Amino acid sequence: MTPGRSLLWTALAVSLTALLAVFYPALYDPWQVLCWVIGGVLLLDAVLARKPPGMTVSRTLRHSIPVGVWSKVGLTLENVDSRPLRLSLHDHYPPGFDSQSMPCSLDLPAHCTGRVEYRVKPLRRGDAEFNGCDVIAVSPLGFWRKRHFYPLAERVKVFPDFQEIGRYALLATDHRLSQMGVRRRQRRGQGNDFHQLREYRAGDALRQIDWKASSRYRKLISKEYQDERDQQVLFLLDCGRRMHHEESGRVHLDQALNAMLLLAHVAAQQGDAVGLLTFGGTDRWLPPRKGAGVVRELLSRTYDLMAGQDAADFLLAAKQLMSLQQRRALVVLLTNTRDEEHADLIGAIQLLKRRHLVVVANLRESILDEVLERPVSDLDGALEFHTVNEYLESRRKSLENLRHQGVLTLDLQAPQLPVALVNGYLMIKASGSL
């Protein structure tokens, strides 16, 4: 219990009257009586303040919220007491959350219900817990402030920000994929699965013509094919120490998760099965599954993934995947590598290529490109430019070596990854190489 502002003003007034009693001794006895009266009032107010206010507190919030996005939290307070309450509130939101409009104050009339809202923004994925709410009530006479704790333990799950998935779904609905940079390759009858018969169009290959149907209808009829469905896409997600790298407040692992979820959504829409194997930190395995629910399941299995402190073992991960995945699949490796890991990566790719088609998406730090674009004005700048250029050239040669082995490689900054992955997947589907 702490003194309120009224008590401080009262103490100041009593001190001033004490000075008057010093100069006017006749006021000493009335001053003592005043002190005893005020002391009794303060004691009575303190006793009343210790009693918890007659009120209930409840919280409303979403139990699944995206990282880095503001979300609303509401507190509802019901005053069942016969006197009005003056309150200050502080909700115990999880550590690592930013907040707006908290703490706050509220005047609650007798037998009334009040509601306050504030916003939180989680800065990292995973499980988080709201522990309770502190309510500081002002005593009936306003001399004291007493803190009361209301336990309101609630657990929330902080998921990756899936706004890109929603944006893709909207664009796909409106047939405006090109606005994301996704390029659909138009092909006439060159898929793998038969789709339908239609009238011959200029440009159709002779092998597309169905001669039996043409003779029956007395006009040229072409066969139309579609990209093969019921294929499998398997993500091999690096959760090692390299994925700790942070840019613009987002670590590489978070950005790789967003790109993975977007491609999973696209593949599920194409009728393919999607699976996941993580390595380098927490090892998790999700066998390939089909249907719209696969994205939701990926979210529930990856929302609390964090990058570990150890280096990723690519060869061990490849051996594990080969034992778990017997059917041929498109394996998408999401990672951030260095030259010293190239030999291990080559061995893993060679093992995977025995059965699977492999795509390596290698994330590159944006600071490297910024150094090359920065004007060189002194010796230190020239040395930095030369070092970065030499490193990138070595990186380019390493990835070129992978391409010569038939691996599709992507070397790009994290923000470029989602659209590049989708385009690569659509290119593979169009080519029929899977």
Each residue's pLDDT tens digit, 289-348: 988 789 889 988 898 888 888 888 999 999 999 999 999 999 999 998 887 778 888 889
- pLDDT higher than threshold 80 for residue 61: yes
Q: Which residues contact 180 (CB under 8 A, 6 or more apart)?
A: 167, 168, 171, 419, 422
Give how far Cα 261 sits from Cα of 157, 266, 418, Å.
Answer: 17, 9, 9
Are the C-beta atoms of 352 and 331 separated by less than 8 Å? yes
- pLDDT higher than threshold 50 for residue 78: yes
Give residue-wise pLDDT tens across range 26-40: 777 777 777 787 788
Give residue-wise pLDDT tens across range 277-295: 999 888 899 999 988 789 8
Tokens matching residue 150? 């209301």
Rounded mean pLDDT of 235-260? 88
d(CA 385, CA 381): 6
pTM exceeds 0.75 for this model: no
Q: Which of 17-21, 35-39, 86-90 has the highest mean pLDDT?
A: 86-90
- Kindly report the three-state secondary structure assignment for every residue of the chain: CEECHHHHHHHHHHHHHHHHHHHCHHHHHHHHHHHHHHHHHHHHHHHHHHCCCCEEEEEEECCEEECCCCEEEEEEEEECCCCCEEEEEEECCCCCEEEECCCEEEEECCCCEEEEEEEEEECCCEEEEEEEEEEEEECCCCCEEEEEEEEEEEEEEEECCCHHHHHHHHHHHCCCHHHHCCCCCCCCCCCCEEEEEEECCCCCCHHHECHHHHHHHCCCEEEEEECCCCCEEEEEEECCHHHHCEECCEEHHHHHHHHHHHHHHHHHHCCCEEEEEEECCCCCEEEEECCCHHHHHHHHHHCCCCCCCCCCCHHHHHHHHHHHCCCCCEEEEEECCCHHHHHHHHHHHHHHCCCCEEEEEEECCHHHHHHHHCCCCCHHHHHHHHHHHHHHHHHHHHHHHHHHCCCEEEEECHHHHHHHHHHHHHHHHHHCCC
Higher pLDDT, 10 or 244: 244
Tokens matching residue 263? 């491609």
Give residue-wise pLDDT tens across range 147-181: 889 999 999 999 887 665 555 544 443 444 454 45
Rounded mean pLDDT of 261-275? 89
Confidence category of residue 247, pLDDT binned at 50, 70, 90: confident
d(CA 102, CA 314): 46
Other CB atoms within 10 Å distance of the CB of residue 43: 11
